[in-house]
Amino acid sequence: MEWSLVGARSRGVISYGQLDAKSPRRLHRVFALEALLAGVTPWPASPETFDLFPVLKPVGALASCRFADWRNKAVTVGGTRTASAIYSRPDEAWLVLANLNESAQEVRCVLRPDKLPYPLPSPTSATLLPTGNTSTNVSDRVTPLSLDAQALTGGGVTVTIPPDTAVLLHVR
Protein backbone atom coordinates (compact mmCIF):
# COMPACT_ATOMS: atom_id res chain seq x y z
CA MET A 1 0.00 0.00 0.00
CA GLU A 2 2.80 2.43 0.82
CA TRP A 3 4.30 2.04 -2.65
CA SER A 4 1.27 2.95 -4.73
CA LEU A 5 -1.68 4.28 -2.77
CA VAL A 6 -4.28 5.50 -5.29
CA GLY A 7 -1.57 6.85 -7.59
CA ALA A 8 -0.09 9.01 -4.82
CA ARG A 9 3.54 10.02 -4.80
CA SER A 10 5.81 7.24 -3.51
CA ARG A 11 6.68 7.33 0.17
CA GLY A 12 9.26 5.75 2.37
CA VAL A 13 8.74 2.08 3.15
CA ILE A 14 9.09 1.29 6.83
CA SER A 15 11.51 -1.54 7.48
CA TYR A 16 11.02 -1.94 11.22
CA GLY A 17 8.30 -4.47 11.86
CA GLN A 18 9.31 -6.08 8.57
CA LEU A 19 12.95 -6.79 9.34
CA ASP A 20 14.30 -7.50 12.77
CA ALA A 21 17.35 -5.39 13.60
CA LYS A 22 19.22 -8.66 14.15
CA SER A 23 18.32 -10.01 10.70
CA PRO A 24 21.27 -10.84 8.46
CA ARG A 25 22.60 -7.68 6.78
CA ARG A 26 21.94 -9.30 3.40
CA LEU A 27 18.18 -9.10 4.08
CA HIS A 28 18.53 -5.39 4.80
CA ARG A 29 20.42 -5.02 1.51
CA VAL A 30 17.76 -6.90 -0.48
CA PHE A 31 15.07 -4.76 1.19
CA ALA A 32 16.92 -1.60 0.10
CA LEU A 33 17.47 -2.99 -3.42
CA GLU A 34 13.78 -3.83 -3.81
CA ALA A 35 12.90 -0.32 -2.62
CA LEU A 36 15.26 1.11 -5.27
CA LEU A 37 13.40 -0.88 -7.94
CA ALA A 38 10.06 0.41 -6.65
CA GLY A 39 11.10 4.08 -6.54
CA VAL A 40 10.75 4.34 -2.78
CA THR A 41 13.15 4.77 0.12
CA PRO A 42 13.48 2.48 3.14
CA TRP A 43 12.68 4.14 6.45
CA PRO A 44 14.72 4.41 8.47
CA ALA A 45 17.49 4.54 5.91
CA SER A 46 20.01 1.79 6.58
CA PRO A 47 23.70 1.63 5.71
CA GLU A 48 22.64 -0.61 2.82
CA THR A 49 20.40 2.15 1.49
CA PHE A 50 23.29 4.61 1.53
CA ASP A 51 25.44 2.01 -0.22
CA LEU A 52 22.95 1.24 -3.03
CA PHE A 53 21.18 4.49 -3.86
CA PRO A 54 24.25 6.38 -5.21
CA VAL A 55 23.83 4.28 -8.37
CA LEU A 56 21.21 6.91 -9.30
CA LYS A 57 23.59 9.88 -8.98
CA PRO A 58 24.42 10.07 -12.73
CA VAL A 59 20.72 10.47 -13.53
CA GLY A 60 20.79 13.92 -11.97
CA ALA A 61 17.41 15.54 -11.30
CA LEU A 62 15.14 12.56 -10.71
CA ALA A 63 12.11 14.86 -10.60
CA SER A 64 12.65 15.62 -14.30
CA CYS A 65 12.17 11.93 -15.17
CA ARG A 66 9.21 9.67 -15.59
CA PHE A 67 9.72 6.56 -13.49
CA ALA A 68 8.67 2.99 -14.33
CA ASP A 69 9.17 0.44 -11.57
CA TRP A 70 10.02 -3.26 -11.68
CA ARG A 71 6.70 -3.99 -13.44
CA ASN A 72 7.77 -2.08 -16.58
CA LYS A 73 7.32 -3.67 -20.01
CA ALA A 74 10.29 -1.92 -21.65
CA VAL A 75 13.21 -3.86 -20.16
CA THR A 76 13.70 -7.60 -19.90
CA VAL A 77 16.55 -8.86 -17.74
CA GLY A 78 17.32 -12.56 -18.03
CA GLY A 79 18.57 -14.65 -15.15
CA THR A 80 17.01 -15.55 -11.85
CA ARG A 81 15.91 -12.95 -9.30
CA THR A 82 16.70 -10.01 -11.56
CA ALA A 83 14.64 -6.90 -12.20
CA SER A 84 14.77 -3.44 -13.73
CA ALA A 85 13.44 0.06 -13.22
CA ILE A 86 13.52 3.06 -15.54
CA TYR A 87 14.10 6.80 -15.25
CA SER A 88 13.13 8.31 -18.60
CA ARG A 89 13.36 11.77 -20.16
CA PRO A 90 12.85 12.88 -23.74
CA ASP A 91 15.81 11.56 -25.79
CA GLU A 92 17.31 9.41 -23.00
CA ALA A 93 16.58 6.65 -20.54
CA TRP A 94 18.40 5.38 -17.47
CA LEU A 95 17.87 1.66 -16.85
CA VAL A 96 18.46 0.29 -13.37
CA LEU A 97 19.36 -3.40 -13.71
CA ALA A 98 19.34 -5.34 -10.45
CA ASN A 99 20.56 -8.73 -9.30
CA LEU A 100 18.87 -9.96 -6.11
CA ASN A 101 21.05 -13.09 -5.92
CA GLU A 102 23.94 -13.77 -3.55
CA SER A 103 26.27 -14.33 -6.50
CA ALA A 104 27.15 -12.32 -9.59
CA GLN A 105 25.12 -13.02 -12.70
CA GLU A 106 25.78 -12.60 -16.37
CA VAL A 107 22.37 -11.68 -17.79
CA ARG A 108 20.85 -10.80 -21.13
CA CYS A 109 19.20 -7.36 -21.18
CA VAL A 110 16.73 -6.43 -23.92
CA LEU A 111 15.21 -2.97 -24.35
CA ARG A 112 11.93 -2.21 -26.11
CA PRO A 113 12.44 1.53 -26.67
CA ASP A 114 8.83 2.08 -27.76
CA LYS A 115 7.65 0.94 -24.29
CA LEU A 116 9.72 3.48 -22.34
CA PRO A 117 7.84 6.22 -20.44
CA TYR A 118 9.34 8.58 -23.05
CA PRO A 119 9.71 6.30 -26.10
CA LEU A 120 13.02 6.48 -27.95
CA PRO A 121 12.56 6.18 -31.73
CA SER A 122 15.97 4.67 -32.46
CA PRO A 123 18.59 4.56 -29.68
CA THR A 124 22.11 5.18 -30.95
CA SER A 125 24.16 4.69 -27.78
CA ALA A 126 24.09 2.57 -24.67
CA THR A 127 26.60 3.00 -21.85
CA LEU A 128 26.92 0.77 -18.80
CA LEU A 129 28.00 2.76 -15.75
CA PRO A 130 29.71 0.41 -13.30
CA THR A 131 28.72 0.53 -9.64
CA GLY A 132 32.15 1.90 -8.68
CA ASN A 133 31.48 5.24 -10.39
CA THR A 134 29.68 6.76 -7.42
CA SER A 135 32.93 7.44 -5.55
CA THR A 136 34.24 10.99 -5.37
CA ASN A 137 37.80 9.62 -5.49
CA VAL A 138 38.94 9.79 -9.13
CA SER A 139 41.29 6.81 -8.70
CA ASP A 140 38.27 4.64 -7.75
CA ARG A 141 36.48 5.34 -11.02
CA VAL A 142 35.82 2.51 -13.42
CA THR A 143 35.61 3.25 -17.13
CA PRO A 144 32.03 3.16 -18.46
CA LEU A 145 31.43 0.39 -20.98
CA SER A 146 29.91 1.20 -24.39
CA LEU A 147 27.39 -1.38 -25.51
CA ASP A 148 25.83 -1.99 -28.92
CA ALA A 149 22.54 -0.05 -28.91
CA GLN A 150 21.19 -2.03 -31.89
CA ALA A 151 21.91 -5.31 -30.12
CA LEU A 152 20.29 -3.97 -26.94
CA THR A 153 17.05 -3.32 -28.82
CA GLY A 154 17.31 -6.55 -30.82
CA GLY A 155 18.47 -9.81 -29.27
CA GLY A 156 19.87 -8.06 -26.22
CA VAL A 157 23.28 -7.50 -24.68
CA THR A 158 25.07 -9.43 -21.95
CA VAL A 159 25.70 -7.58 -18.71
CA THR A 160 27.37 -8.83 -15.55
CA ILE A 161 25.69 -7.63 -12.38
CA PRO A 162 27.43 -8.09 -9.02
CA PRO A 163 25.54 -9.87 -6.23
CA ASP A 164 22.78 -8.02 -4.38
CA THR A 165 23.29 -4.81 -6.28
CA ALA A 166 22.26 -2.73 -9.28
CA VAL A 167 24.01 -1.20 -12.26
CA LEU A 168 22.92 1.73 -14.40
CA LEU A 169 22.61 1.64 -18.18
CA HIS A 170 22.28 4.99 -19.99
CA VAL A 171 20.53 4.85 -23.37
CA ARG A 172 20.26 7.74 -25.87
How would you classify residue 60: left for phi > 0, otherwise alpha for psi between -120 and 50, otherwise beta?
Answer: left
Has residue 80 been placed in a domain?
Answer: yes
Length of the chain: 172
User: What three-state secondary structure class fits 158?
Assistant: strand
Residues 91, 17 share a domain: no
Residues 117, 79 share a domain: yes
Residues 162, 133 share a domain: yes
| pLDDT at site 82 | 98
Higher pLDDT, 7 or 164: 164
What is the tens place of the pLDDT at every residue in 70-84? Answer: 999 999 999 999 999
30: containing domain: 12-54
Residues 36, 106 share a domain: no
Is pLDDT above 50 for 47?
yes
Has residue 6 been placed in a domain?
Answer: no
Question: Rounded mean pLDDT of 14-31?
Answer: 86
Has residue 19 been placed in a domain?
Answer: yes
Residues 42, 16 share a domain: yes
Does residue 106 contact residue 128 with C-beta atoms inside 8 Å?
no
Has residue 7 been placed in a domain?
Answer: no
How would you classify residue 6: left for phi > 0, otherwise alpha for psi between -120 and 50, otherwise beta?
Answer: left
What is the tens place of the pLDDT at every residue in 81-105? Answer: 999 999 999 999 999 999 999 999 9
**What mean pLDDT value characterizes the chain?**
89
| pLDDT at site 18 | 78
Residues 107, 66 share a domain: yes
Has residue 1 been placed in a domain?
Answer: no
Has residue 36 been placed in a domain?
Answer: yes
Question: Whose CA is closest to 104, among 68, 131, 142, 70?
Answer: 131
Has residue 87 been placed in a domain?
Answer: yes
What is the tens place of the pLDDT at every residue in 126-162? Answer: 999 977 544 555 555 578 999 999 999 999 999 999 9
Number of domains the chain contains: 2
